[in-house]
Chain A
Amino acid sequence: MSTYSDYTRSRLSRHETCTTLFVNMVSDKFDSPDPQVSLDIFQSAFISIYEPLRKYHGVLRQFLQDDKGQVAIIIFSGRESNTLAACRCALKIKDNFKAQNINFGMGVATGKVFCGPVGDHSRCEMSWIGDSVNHSARLMGQAMKSNG
């Protein structure tokens, strides 16, 4: 059996203090009857998130759309100023969304999480698993409630 997967895990897996930023977006334009309108607003929302994310060295863990709206999961790790970067990124995203009239809620939580590749050589992805990740998601939900 190849030991590369063990090597991969030992090299990349770690417990690390990370900051997780959850972003939830709601706009009536996302569900527009015209697919092009939906696509355009979806694309602009993505860019609104991705530009500040790159500026502050975050990693887009996921960008998904479900019954609760559009959710982006962003991770800041590997630096001492993770939290500061996450908060500044959140504020920048807030400005971008305001300009587009997109309603949203965000949650920021810092804590020690497992960070590393999960999977085997045929399929593998970077994962961040921990209590603070869940906490961030709950804070995002609370932020949405307070908006509504």
Chain B
Amino acid sequence: MTNNLPLLALPHSIFADKASVDAAATEIVFESVGMITLKGKGLVQSFKVNGLKFKGSILSDQNENSDMSSPPQMFDNMASIHSAILLDWAVQTSKTTAKIGFEGFGGSESVSPNKAGTPGSSSSPTKVRSDEERYTARLPI
């Protein structure tokens, strides 16, 4: 497979909206590109991000200022909550399955052969369950 895309010239552009410019204009140099038409947005005022106004960064303090709920922290929280959900699911499932007898994966349960509808086959006392029964047995409701 060959690619016909030309290697474009490199006047790389970073475009920003007005809210971003207002928030970052103390450190970043923006150049207005005027009103441009964006799909689904119509005419909007846009700016080109040119570079830094000076060397150094107020962002160097970000590591110390991490008491706010940053996205990584949120993911950590979500991971712990997700673990709690899984544990809750496991507990509820075990409780539910305990009521109807342990089903497990390929395991047998205490159902009489006659009820299971397999007369004469006492060596494999398994009951054929409907899909609905299986679903409600395995999910916490």
Give, as a whole number of angstroms, the nearest-CB distance from A62 to chain B. 14
**Please, which residues of chain B bring their CB within 8 A of the CB of A106?**
12-15, 49
Give, as a whole number of angstroms, the nearest-CB distance from A126 to chain B. 7
Complex Cα gap A121–B81 (Å): 10
Complex Cα gap A110–B25 (Å): 13
Complex Cα gap A100–B6 (Å): 16
Q: Is A139 touching B46 in the complex (CB atoms < 8 A)?
A: yes
Q: Tell me if B89 is interfacial: C-beta within 8 Å of chain A.
A: yes
Contact residues, A99-126 vs B (CB, 8 A): 101, 103-111, 117, 121, 124, 126
Q: Tell me if B40 is interfacial: C-beta within 8 Å of chain A.
A: yes
Complex Cα gap A2–B140 (Å): 8
Given contacts A4-B84, A12-B78, A91-B49, 11 further A-B contacts (CB under 8 A): A79-B68, A81-B59, A84-B26, A85-B62, A94-B14, A106-B12, A106-B13, A109-B17, A121-B85, A136-B17, A139-B38
| Residues of chain A whose beta carbon lies under 8 Å from any beta carbon of chain B | 1-2, 4-5, 7-8, 11-12, 19, 26-28, 30-33, 56-59, 75, 77-79, 81-88, 90-91, 94, 97-98, 101, 103-111, 117, 121, 124, 126, 132, 134-136, 138-144, 146-148
Chain B at the A interface: SS class = mixed
Q: Is A88 touching B57 in the complex (CB atoms < 8 A)?
A: yes
Give, as a whole number of angstroms, the nearest-CB distance from A51 to chain B. 15
Give, as a whole number of angstroms, the nearest-CB distance from A141 to chain B. 7
**Please, which residues of chain B bring their CB within 8 A of the CB of A142?**
15, 36, 38, 46
Give, as a whole number of angstroms, the nearest-CB distance from A148 to chain B. 6
**Please, which residues of chain B bring their CB within 8 A of the CB of A97?**
12
**Please, which residues of chain A bring their CB within 8 A of the CB of B11?**
146-147
**Please, which residues of chain A bring their CB within 8 A of the CB of B40?**
134, 138
Complex Cα gap A85–B27 (Å): 10
**Please, which residues of chain B bring their CB within 8 A of the CB of A5?**
85
Complex Cα gap A124–B82 (Å): 9
Q: Tell me if B109 is interfacial: C-beta within 8 Å of chain A.
A: no
Q: Tell me if B72 is interfacial: C-beta within 8 Å of chain A.
A: yes
Q: Is A31 touching B5 in the complex (CB atoms < 8 A)?
A: yes
Residue of B nearest to A143 (CB): B13
Residue of A nearest to B89 (CB): A121
Q: Tell me if B39 is interfacial: C-beta within 8 Å of chain A.
A: yes
Q: Tell me if B41 is interfacial: C-beta within 8 Å of chain A.
A: yes
Give, as a whole number of angstroms, the nearest-CB distance from A73 to chain B. 13
Q: Tell me if B75 is interfacial: C-beta within 8 Å of chain A.
A: yes
Residue of B nearest to A138 (CB): B38
Complex Cα gap A84–B61 (Å): 13
**Please, which residues of chain A bring their CB within 8 A of the CB of B73?**
78
